[in-house]
């Protein structure tokens, strides 16, 4: 279970936390859910900056709580809701269905990526 002895950041009504560990997408999601949250899903620039702070602090890219929808090919929240806020890096997403997860770069921009790589766990509560 994700121990919250690492860093915690509060933005609006959300709390973001990371233990500094890097795992694949499914394991990251499972860790967050065991702790009572979900993977971080920035809904605005302020939340995106808070998450990017962890990415810079731990010098590791992080998975975000979005996935590519099988039917439409669009990226959506894990609950199927559309994204109202995005911060894609230039020319992204470009995985053409092969990169179904979303990672955050150290500058706070997003990239579509395969789901089996080790990325930083950042949870949202």
Tell me the pLDDT tens digit for each residue of 94-105: 998 899 999 999
Tell me the pLDDT tens digit for each residue of 110-125: 999 999 999 999 999 9
Return d(Cα 28, Cα 117) in angstroms, integer.
11
Return d(Cα 41, Cα 51) in angstroms, integer.
9
- In the chain, what are the domains? 8-124 (3.10.100.10)
Please check the confidence at residue 5 and state whether its pLDDT lies above 60: no
User: 80 — alpha (psi -120 to 50), left (phi > 0) or beta?
Assistant: left
| Nearest Cα to Cα of residue 101 among 109, 89, 113, 92 | 113
CB 39 within 8 A of CB 123: yes
Structure tokens at 52: 């990017």
pTM value? 0.92
- Kind and range of the H or E element at 67? strand 62-68
């Amino acid at each position: 279970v994700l121990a919250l002895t690492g860093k915690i950041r509060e933005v609006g009504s959300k709390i973001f936390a990371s233990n500094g560990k890097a795992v694949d997408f499914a394991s990251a999601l499972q860790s967050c859910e065991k702790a009572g949250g979900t993977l971080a899903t920035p809904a605005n620039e302020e939340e995106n900056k808070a998450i990017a702070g962890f990415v810079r602090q731990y010098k590791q890219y992080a998975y975000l709580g979005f996935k590519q929808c099988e039917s439409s090919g669009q990226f959506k929240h894990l609950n199927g809701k559309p994204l109202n806020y995005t911060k894609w890096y230039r020319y992204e997403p470009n995985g053409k269905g092969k990169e179904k997860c979303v990672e955050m770069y150290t500058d706070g921009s997003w990239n579509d990526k395969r789901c089996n790589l080790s990325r930083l766990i950042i949870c949202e509560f």
